[in-house]
A and B are shown apart, each in its own frame.
Chain A
Amino acid sequence: MPANDVSIRIGGEAGQGVESSGTGFSEALTRGGLHVFAEANYRSRIRGGHNFFTVRARSEPAYAVRDKIQVLIALTGETVGLHADALEPGSAVIVDPQITFDEDVLQGRDVRLLRPPLLEIAEQEGNRIMSNTGALAYVAGLIGLPLDNIVRVIEKNFSKKSMRVVEQNTRVAQRSYDQATQDVQDGFPWQLQPQSLPPRMTITGNSAFAMGALMAGCKFVSAYPMTPATTVLEYLSLHGREWGVVARQAEDEIAAANMVIGAAHAGVRALVPTSGGGYDLMTEAFSLVGMTETPVVAYLGQRPGPATGLPTRTSQGDLFLALRSSHGEFGRIVLAPHTPEEAFLCAGRAFNLAEKYQTLVVVLFDEYLATSVRSADVEYFMLDRIPIERGKLLSAEDLERLDGYKRFAITEDGISPRALPGMSPKAVYLTTGDEHTEEGHITEDAGISAAMLDKRLRKEEVARSDMRPPHRYGPESADVTFIGWGSTYGAIREAVDLHNAGGGSANMVHFVDLWPFPREHTREALGNARRLVSVEGNARGQFAYLLHAETGIRVDQQILKYDGRGFTPDYILGRLEVK
């Protein structure tokens, strides 16, 4: 373990500010010139329980958290025991003297117990809750992060409250920081060496996606709150007034999906974010999307099912759901971004593809990607990275030039020119979930029915050419090729690096564009692979199944995880069978 790679974990009860402290620390470390990856780990409750937040900072880009940590901040006594096994030899455990805990759990472990009076300092300068600021400043002192980075985050987060709160927190930070330098005069083995990096962001997958949607011209969003999709609705609700978005919390997911269909049909870019159970309720509406050829973007944030499952945890168990949901056969597109940067781009692509192919685009997320924080260069999030293409959308002038208008005209590529309701007396037509003629009238004619289904499926065949090849990482040729999709990218990528650094030979092929399955690109990427190991967050190896069905390629080993927790590179390498 290089010394310039530190993982800090904050653990406590829900309501103690574990997540906000972790997020704040991520910002401070990013500002301090480090690359950061942070993972939230919380239970489905509002108060109490045990939540923790792990922040990893290093000089190389960070894509995942590791199994071992070097600093543990325990806001409750219970935290120490729960995370004792994750402590690396030589690591620090920080527990305020006012918090009692069973010291036996550290018995025989090579760890350094530090008991700075953070609560006392906070009470003297302001109030107890400021001890979280103190804890972060204390760790900054421990690992060599200049204090001004913490102060800057304090100013950013508390200046809206009052200058007094900023000043109090700053004093708490200063005293706690000084306490650390006193407590650890002999030095702490993990010291960060900040680099000079351009201005950067700390951002979650959900924030990146929601911001991308806004930049892509999403004008309407409707949803029923459900973890982990809720923050997408919240972001667009909060920013909607200023940025021209109508955000509507619906009475249920069925209403949300149907409202989005109505808005999209009327001509605005519309989004419906949800999670598995909500998506289940929407599946009939999505079949209506297929039949009526309405451009709809659905965000599906996976969490473990069936039923309520583990509501605040992560999963990749809904791949089949995204691919196969809804009755009847129709073409659709499924994208599974792997980083916040990609989530941002996927938002733009999803709206373009939805309008180009006039169908459903599912952006397949999961709780891990939704809530994990990454430091990223701002240049990845610029407006010009989201081009807007509206496909065969007719203007009133285009329509005027046409002889007659058929909303569902059968075309070579299956895509019919789209005129919006209300646009012109020439665009008076029916859109129906019944099978229909090119004009839109209900029909039961056998020939037309088959021709219409062919037309709708043809769009999917054409859309295959818009699917990008999988990402490749590592040496061109290797003994082991890892295959992954969606949010597992980071853990697999770091597993490749660790494996190769230890003398192994591995590379990875990672999929974001999942459907229509990029068959040719896949054969090309995997054709010369020697040993294929798939990594998936589900129990049945859904992607491995898809890969075999689409290309005939079988994987040699599957590394699966379905306990609701995200992958780490250590987990992957611990299970890799090298032959």
Chain B
Amino acid sequence: MATVQDYSNNVRPTWCPGCGDYAIWNALKRAFAGAGMEPHQVIMVTGIGQGSKTPDYMNITGFNGLHGRPLPVAAGIKLANHDLKVVVVHGDGDGYSEGGNHFLHAVRRNISMVDIVQNNHVYALTKGQASPTTSKGIKTSTSPVGVMDVPINPLTLALSQGATFVARSYSPNINHMMEMITAALNHRGYALLDIQQVCVTYNPAMSNEWYREHVYDLAEQGHDPSDMEAAMARAIEFPGGERIPVGVFYQDETVPSYEEQLSVLETGPLVHQPLRTRPEEDYLQLLEEFMTDPIQR
């Protein structure tokens, strides 16, 4: 059984002291070890952003690709080898802005993967510009008079498009993150986990303390995650309201994942199937389609 130590390597993170990424990093390692997975059985697919460097700081199979594009990469990996647990880790700019279209379609596709969005409401890697989740009126280097756009609500967006798992956690609470990651790992289909993340350098107002004062746990309020209307009502609360609900907003475990519905994958992962799935003589059938007379055998 793998331990947290098995998911650790000797590469030191380059994050700022106090960055929420440390807590997410630790929660991931603990959740993976707790799920009983070996480091080669899970693949972490990331985009671009400080948090997207997470797999470099872990002993894990990782694919760190382009800005905004980890969701389609993850889809390709899962369809090629559905034995792998696929976990996407990327920021709010990556997931909700550059990769916004992929987000919508990942929800619709419902390919099994955990999509963790480290949502710190700011572009930190490029030093402090507005992100798609920055609140209206916030002044940044590219919005000197304040952001004019309405922030994206990823949770209502996902719910409205038929998401089968929608959850939120926050970086000041490792145990809650672990619990949410574990729930997402156990979900069949696409699981969105938005993690409200502290950025001590570019968004100090939304600090650990600030989050502790503003969050409330859905589970403690008796929220029923199978109730879509209730989920939507809770999801609308933030951004916009004073209080931030965290926990599982919605989960539907009755919907089959995309890969479960592909007959081609019934005999096992694509990568383990022979390149030619049928006997050589069968391939003459393909030629018949173009023959003007049957092939003489």
A472 CB contacts on chain B under 8 angstroms: none
Contact at A430–B56, with CB atoms within 8 Å?
yes
- In the bound assembly, the distance between CA atoms of A250 and B77 in angstroms comes to 14
Whether A266 touches B286, Cβ cut-off 8 Å, given contacts A27-B292, A199-B296, A434-B64, is no
Contact at B271–A201, with CB atoms within 8 Å?
no
A interface residue count range (under 10 / 10 to 19 / 20 to 34 / 35 or more): 35 or more
- In the bound assembly, the distance between CA atoms of A468 and B259 in angstroms comes to 40
- In the bound assembly, the distance between CA atoms of A430 and B294 in angstroms comes to 51
Contact at A422–B84, with CB atoms within 8 Å?
yes
A263 CB contacts on chain B under 8 angstroms: 76-77, 79-80, 270
- In the bound assembly, the distance between CA atoms of A257 and B280 in angstroms comes to 30
Pick out which of these stretches binds chain A: B101-109, B169-177, B191-199: B101-109
Contact with A421, one of B66, B84, B262, B293 (Cβ below 8 angstroms): B84
Say if the beta carbon of A211 comes within 8 Å of chain B.
Answer: yes
Pick out which of these stretches binds chain B: A116-124, A216-224, A533-541: A216-224
Residue of B nearest to A248 (CB): B79
B interface residue count range (under 10 / 10 to 19 / 20 to 34 / 35 or more): 35 or more
Say if the beta carbon of A261 comes within 8 Å of chain B.
Answer: yes
A201 CB contacts on chain B under 8 angstroms: 287, 290-292
Contact at A261–B73, with CB atoms within 8 Å?
yes
Residue of B nearest to A27 (CB): B292
Say if the beta carbon of B69 comes within 8 Å of chain A.
Answer: yes
Contact at B56–A432, with CB atoms within 8 Å?
yes
- In the bound assembly, the distance between CA atoms of A425 and B40 in angstroms comes to 5
Say if the beta carbon of A529 comes within 8 Å of chain B.
Answer: no
Say if the beta carbon of B232 comes within 8 Å of chain A.
Answer: no
Contact at B76–A202, with CB atoms within 8 Å?
no
A27 CB contacts on chain B under 8 angstroms: 292
Say if the beta carbon of B53 comes within 8 Å of chain A.
Answer: yes
> Residue-by-residue, is B55-93 near A (CB-CB < 8 Å gives 1, otherwise 0)?
110011111111001011111111111011000000000
- In the bound assembly, the distance between CA atoms of A191 and B74 in angstroms comes to 60
Contact with A284, one of B11, B66, B101 (Cβ below 8 angstroms): B66
Contact with B64, one of A245, A388, A430 (Cβ below 8 angstroms): A430
Say if the beta carbon of B39 comes within 8 Å of chain A.
Answer: yes
B1 CB contacts on chain A under 8 angstroms: none
Contact at B81–A422, with CB atoms within 8 Å?
yes
Say if the beta carbon of A207 comes within 8 Å of chain B.
Answer: yes
Contact with B79, one of A200, A246, A256, A425 (Cβ below 8 angstroms): A246
Contact at A429–B72, with CB atoms within 8 Å?
no
CB distance from A218 to the nearest CB of B (A): 9
- In the bound assembly, the distance between CA atoms of A261 and B264 in angstroms comes to 20
Contact at B277–A244, with CB atoms within 8 Å?
yes
Residue of B nearest to A284 (CB): B66
Say if the beta carbon of A268 comes within 8 Å of chain B.
Answer: yes
Contact at B61–A422, with CB atoms within 8 Å?
yes
- In the bound assembly, the distance between CA atoms of A427 and B277 in angstroms comes to 26
CB distance from B256 to the nearest CB of A (A): 16
A397-423 residues with Cβ-Cβ distance < 8 A to B are 420-423
Say if the beta carbon of B275 comes within 8 Å of chain A.
Answer: yes
A31 CB contacts on chain B under 8 angstroms: 292-293
Say if the beta carbon of A189 comes within 8 Å of chain B.
Answer: no
Residue of B nearest to A244 (CB): B277
- In the bound assembly, the distance between CA atoms of A441 and B10 in angstroms comes to 11
Contact at A442–B280, with CB atoms within 8 Å?
no
Contact at B275–A217, with CB atoms within 8 Å?
yes
> Residue-by-residue, is A377-396 near B (CB-CB < 8 Å gives 1, otherwise 0)?
01001110000100000000
- In the bound assembly, the distance between CA atoms of A434 and B46 in angstroms comes to 12
Contact at B72–A425, with CB atoms within 8 Å?
no
A128-178 residues with Cβ-Cβ distance < 8 A to B are 152-153
Say if the beta carbon of A428 comes within 8 Å of chain B.
Answer: yes
Whether A246 touches B262, Cβ cut-off 8 Å, given contacts A265-B63, A432-B62, is yes
- In the bound assembly, the distance between CA atoms of A420 and B272 in angstroms comes to 11
Contact at A255–B102, with CB atoms within 8 Å?
yes
Contact at A288–B66, with CB atoms within 8 Å?
yes
A248 CB contacts on chain B under 8 angstroms: 75, 79
Contact at B264–A265, with CB atoms within 8 Å?
no
A230-277 residues with Cβ-Cβ distance < 8 A to B are 239-241, 243-246, 248, 250-252, 254-270
- In the bound assembly, the distance between CA atoms of A292 and B65 in angstroms comes to 9
Closest 8 CB pairs of A and B: A262-B76, A217-B275, A244-B277, A266-B80, A258-B72, A259-B76, A263-B76, A31-B292
6 further A-B contacts with Cβ under 8 Å, apart from A260-B76, A421-B84, A433-B64, are: A200-B291, A202-B290, A215-B276, A245-B264, A246-B262, A261-B76
Q: List 24 A-B contacts (CB under 8 A).
A: A28-B292, A31-B293, A152-B292, A201-B292, A211-B290, A217-B274, A219-B80, A220-B270, A243-B277, A244-B264, A246-B265, A248-B79, A254-B69, A259-B73, A262-B77, A267-B81, A268-B80, A292-B63, A378-B295, A383-B280, A421-B43, A421-B77, A428-B59, A431-B64
Q: Please give the residue numbers on chain A whose beta carbons come within 8 Å of chain B beta carbons, in ascending order.
A: 27-28, 30-31, 152-153, 199-203, 207, 211, 214-217, 219-220, 222, 239-241, 243-246, 248, 250-252, 254-270, 284-285, 288, 292, 378, 381-383, 388, 420-434, 441-442
Q: Please give the residue numbers on chain B whose beta carbons come within 8 Å of chain A beta carbons, in ascending order.
A: 11, 38-41, 43, 45, 53, 55-56, 59-66, 69, 71-81, 83-84, 101-102, 104-105, 262-265, 270-271, 273-278, 280, 283, 286-287, 290-296
